[in-house]
Structure 1
Amino acid sequence: MESALKSFRVMAYIVGVMLLALVAAMVLKYGFGEAAGVAIIGPLHGFLYAIYLLAALNLGLKARWSWVYLLGVLLAGTIPFLSFVVERKVTQRVHREIAAASS
């Protein structure tokens, strides 16, 4: 489960940063007419979000999360800053589960 957690954490940070970059690019597009950023960052974020979904699904299946909790984690990559908060909570939860299993 540790390797699944590591890939999830990396993707959560990458997707979170890319989402913030996408929001900034959208401000530039709709506020100042500069559309190049969205054309580049948008598809890149979409591709990386798909990888984030796979990493979260892999971790969720290994940790045997409920579907409701897993859905919340999956959606965290769509709201700015939320992927950082959820990553921290998921990491704490998985570490607690690993500690409980080894006791």
Structure 2
Amino acid sequence: MPRSYAGWFRLVAVAEAVSWIGLLVAMAFKYGLGEPLGVTVMGWIHGLVFTAYVVTCLVIFSPLRWRFGVLVLALVASVPPLASVWFERWAHRRDLFTERDSVEPTFWGRVRYVLRELN
């Protein structure tokens, strides 16, 4: 099991890319050979892994202190096939998976504070 944000992100990004490829192959079988069952199965699997990718992005962007633009790029990378792997490599080269020390609260810390104040 991964023990870091980078490891978890890499696992989910690769799974998302593989499920995209599986869905594309299933679509070729559906429209080329008239076999729709693969799309039903792979569509469900891809939807689950896609959701895991989006949730992973939303969970790790705050402790890693990503800028909002980086988060948007990570989320947009989930749409084209294999772009999630490209984003993971791009972010790794720019050292975006290391936690930064800061006295400022994280994004989710700010949200928690606002919700407490509204209560």
- Provide TM-score, normalisation by structure 1: 0.83
1:44 aligned partner: 45
2:61 aligned partner: 60
Q: Which amino acid aligns with 1:68?
A: G
| Contact 1:63/1:94 (8 A) holds in 2 | no
Q: Which amino acid aligns with 1:32?
A: L
- 3-state SS, counterpart of residue 94 of structure 1: coil
1:17 aligned partner: 18
Alignment of 1:19-98 (within 5 A): 19-94=20-95, 98=98
- 3-state SS, counterpart of residue 78 of structure 1: coil
After superposing the two structures, state which structure 1 stretch, 24-33 or 14-23, moved more. Answer: 24-33
Q: Which runs of structure 1 show a deviation greater than 4 angstroms over 4 or more consecutive aligned residues?
A: none
Deviations 1:16-56 (A, max 9, x none): 00101101111111122110110001011101111111112
| Contact 2:64/2:100 (8 A) holds in 1 | no
| Contact 1:22/1:42 (8 A) holds in 2 | yes
Q: CA deviation at 1:79?
A: 0.8
- Provide TM-score, normalisation by structure 2: 0.73
Identity of aligned residues (%): 30
Bigger Rg over Cα: 2
* Equivalenced residues, count: 99
Q: Which amino acid aligns with 2:79?
A: T
| Contact 1:19/1:78 (8 A) holds in 2 | no
RMSD value, Cα: 2.1
